[in-house]
Amino acid sequence: MQRFRRAEASAAAWTEDTDMTGISKRDVLKIMGGAALAGPFVNMQSAFAARDKELNILCWEGYNSAQVLDPFRSEKSANVKAESLTNDPTMINRLRAGETKVWDLINVNNPWARKIMYPEGLIKPLPKDEFEPFFEKMLPQFKAPYRWAMSDDGKELLGMAQRFGPYSFVVNTDKVSRKTAEEQGWEIFNDPSLKGKYGILESDDWNVFNIFLIAGLNPFKEHDAAELEKFTETAKRIFGGAKLVGDIAAMNQALVSGEIDLHMTGGTYSVSPARADGHPNLRAVTPLKGPIDGKGGVAWIEITSTVNNPNLSPLATEFLKHVQDPAVAHTVAFAEGTFNPVAQMGNKACFDLFTKEELDAIQYDSLEEEMSRSAEYDIVPDYDKALEILTAAKRAKG
């Protein structure tokens, strides 16, 4: 448009209807206006052509692994960039802030596509005829129409399921038995004798869930003032009594060294690398019962969606198909960083690629049982208030 305005200004400077060559001002306006209008289309075509070999992914760690991305880069001769974060709300806020123009795929936990991103116009639906058949080869609980992959009205397919797992807390079974941890559940963190013997994994949204659970509250309902006060007291006490707050590597190292006996916020996703390294005594635990309609744990299911990018890379849907391949799905499950079950394990061709040791690392022996004890990740209605309280408690710890 700026180029078109410049063309109008140049033409307006003429004082005669024709110049000395006999070309009329109207002709010049047509020529210059045509060039101005053609420019954006030429640029647009160039932009689309350039994006044929470009893909940007905003994701949880694992999908940013070279093991997952390099084969796709080579196959498509493409420039693929992936940025990993550990917080769904932060990723979604990036899209809200205008980064729909940057990203092609977003990989977050299950409720966000259906409840937030699609209603806000941040993602676009997938063609059902191309992608629903992949669900038929997934584990039974993911068969189409899989609720979390669909729009609220059930008409649109919003993303693809892949990694999942229970996520509550982790214990060193040499110090705290699995039986004790499962039976006591979240109440174990209220035991004063454990002060200084546990860690907290740095993951704000999950820690909000878990502080509510330790307080005996369902995180996925609105909370009154008394409940938020209980949350505040619990957050201060839990952060105040923690030996350390850190990332997955720090938690696993502290468990192995004996610095801590257990840590809150953890599961297959966090402990599997340590188990794969020869520490089967470290185990993710799902409580037998809890305040979410009786369920003791929370499970996550990742949904990967195409961003509502006005210049979406055609490689976005190609990548979603790529990671459905049995061998690639196995690579995703054991991508560098964390190891997890994947929905594609329902396909025998994928399941058979998992060794006995790999199945043990992801605690496949108890996966079905622990998922049945877990509520599915959902949105905390008063998350902003709870996060502010949690952040203050964390800051007070120093």
Q: Of 58, 59, 62, nearest to 362 (Cα)? A: 62
Pair 328, 335: CB distance under 8 Å: no
Q: Of 276, 244, 247, nearest to 340 (Cα)? A: 276
pLDDT at 27: 40
From residue 42, alpha-carbon distances to 29, 52, 53 in Å are: 19, 16, 18
Please name the CATH architecture into which domain 165-298+377-397 falls: 3-Layer(aba) Sandwich (3.40)
User: What is the per-residue pLDDT across 225-275, written as a single tens digit (0 to 9) for each?
Assistant: 999 999 999 999 999 999 999 999 999 999 999 999 999 999 999 999 999
Cβ atoms within 10 Å, residue 174: 12
Cβ atoms within 10 Å, residue 392: 13
Pair 240, 395: CB distance under 8 Å: no
pLDDT at 33: 45
3-state secondary structure 92-158: HHHHHCCHHHCCCEEEEECHHHHHHHCCCCCEECECHHHHHHHHCCCCHHHCCCCHHHECCCCCCEC
Residue ranges matching CATH 3.40.190.10 in the chain: 165-298+377-397
| Predicted TM-score (pTM) of this structure | 0.85
State the Cα–Cα distance between residues 307 and 214, nearest whole angstrom.
Answer: 36
pLDDT at 397: 85
Helices (H), the chain: 2-12, 25-51, 66-76, 88-96, 111-112, 128-135, 178-184, 204-214, 225-241, 248-257, 268-276, 315-322, 326-333, 348-351, 356-361, 367-372, 383-397
Residue numbers of the chain with a pLDDT score lower than 50 = 1-48
The single-letter code of the amino acid at 134 is F
Q: Of 107, 97, 33, 37, nearest to 69 (Cα)? A: 107
pLDDT at 67: 93
